[in-house]
């Protein structure tokens, strides 16, 4: 039964990202009711307890320690195992890893100062989405918490609001005026920011569509105007040619009448015969 309870997958620590591994490992140990063995260690009963009770208590404490130590040993790589191989209690093994990879009080204080400075200088990028920026903030926050820093939701919300880009100014003003930041959940803040992003996205798409339609309308008008000009120009050319043709015919008719008046009937008949088809075509 004991073997079945420990047949679980544990996070493997290989010397990197100790903060994340320690959080996962703590949860794993708590799920087996073994975190007290790590945090407080084991204390064997004194001589004032009767031998039977003392024996039972000792046996139980040894089993709990062995289980916790076993889980720790199964959760580290071979290179890390070499550091805790001589540890006889789970607490001893845990403290060895914590001091080496998280550091002592002085080292943790220095790391915390660095993380605080990094958080203070963090700003949102112009092209960055709210959820991506929030992930960057929380990565630093979680590291600070792993070093013992108590970071409240209000502090996180204030950091987000003062470091957003200008396009979020309307929603930031609305939140600051209508909400109590000390009671506002972080999830509610992120919901408001993402809703604002969606509204901006819809407006941008609508503007692009309107601009595209206007461009198409301008091109269509230019095309129609150009076609009308060409048609009118062609019709005008044909009209000029017809006008010149009629003028020539009239001149020929006038010459014929002049010749008739002079008595040259034969000449008139010849001219009339020549222009007759042309006159009929005009009619």
SS3 content of the chain, % helix, strand, coil (to 5): 75, 0, 25
Max avg pLDDT among 9-13, 156-160, 227-231: 156-160
pLDDT confidence of residue 3: 42
Whether pLDDT at 278 is above 70: no
Mean of pLDDT values over 210-217: 67
pLDDT confidence of residue 27: 93
C-alpha 282, offset from chain centre: 77
Whether pLDDT at 70 is above 80: yes
Report CA-CA distances (Å) from 266 to 53, 96, 252, 258, 259. Answer: 160, 139, 15, 13, 10
Report CA-CA distances (Å) from 222 to 9, 216, 232. Answer: 71, 10, 16
The reported pTM is 0.56
Single out the residue of 11, 9, 15, 7 nearest to residue 82, CA to CA: 15
pLDDT confidence of residue 42: 86
Whether pLDDT at 95 is above 70: yes
Strand-pair partners of 13: 76
Residue 65 class from Cβ within 10 Å (0-12 exposed, 13-18 middle, 19+ buried)? buried
pLDDT confidence of residue 147: 84
Mean of pLDDT values over 224-231: 55
Q: Where are the domains of the chain?
A: 2-101, 105-184, 201-282
Tens-place pLDDT, residues 5-55: 455 678 899 998 898 899 899 999 999 999 999 999 888 766 555 566 678
Average pLDDT of the chain?
A: 81
Tens-place pLDDT, residues 235-273: 555 556 666 665 665 565 555 445 444 445 565 566 666
Whether pLDDT at 1 is above 50: no
Confidence band, pLDDT 50/70/90 cuts, at residue 4: very low
pLDDT confidence of residue 7: 58
Neighbours of 194 (CB within 10 A): 13
Mean of pLDDT values over 116-130: 95
């Amino acid at each position: 039964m004991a073997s079945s309870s420990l047949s679980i997958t544990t996070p493997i620590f290989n010397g990197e990202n100790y903060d994340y591994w320690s959080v996962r490992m703590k949860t794993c140990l708590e799920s087996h009711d073994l975190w007290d063995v790590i945090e407080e260690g084991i204390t064997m009963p004194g001589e004032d307890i009767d031998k039977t009770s003392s024996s039972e208590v000792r046996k139980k404490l040894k089993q709990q320690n062995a289980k916790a130590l076993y889980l720790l040993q199964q959760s580290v790589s071979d290179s890390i195992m070499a550091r805790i191989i001589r540890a006889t209690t789970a607490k001893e093994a845990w403290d060895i890893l914590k001091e080496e990879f998280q550091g002592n009080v002085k080292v943790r204080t220095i790391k915390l100062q660095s993380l605080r400075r990094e958080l203070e200088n963090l700003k949102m990028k112009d092209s960055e989405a709210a959820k991506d920026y929030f992930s960057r903030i929380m990565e630093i926050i979680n590291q600070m918490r792993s070093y013992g820093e108590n970071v409240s939701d209000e502090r996180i919300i204030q950091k987000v609001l003062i470091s957003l880009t200008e396009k979020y100014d309307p929603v930031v003003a609305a939140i600051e005026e209508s909400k109590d930041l000390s009671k506002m959940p972080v999830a509610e803040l992120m919901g408001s920011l993402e809703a604002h992003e969606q509204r901006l996205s819809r407006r941008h798409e609508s503007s692009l569509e309107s601009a595209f339609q206007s461009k198409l309308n301008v091109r269509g008008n230019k095309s129609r105007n150009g076609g009308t000009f060409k048609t009118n120009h062609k019709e005008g050319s044909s009209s000029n040619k017809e006008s010149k043709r009629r003028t020539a015919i009239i001149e020929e008719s006038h010459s014929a009448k002049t010749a008739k008046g002079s008595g040259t009937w034969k000449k008139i008949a010849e001219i009339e015969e020549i222009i007759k088809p042309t006159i009929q075509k005009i009619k």
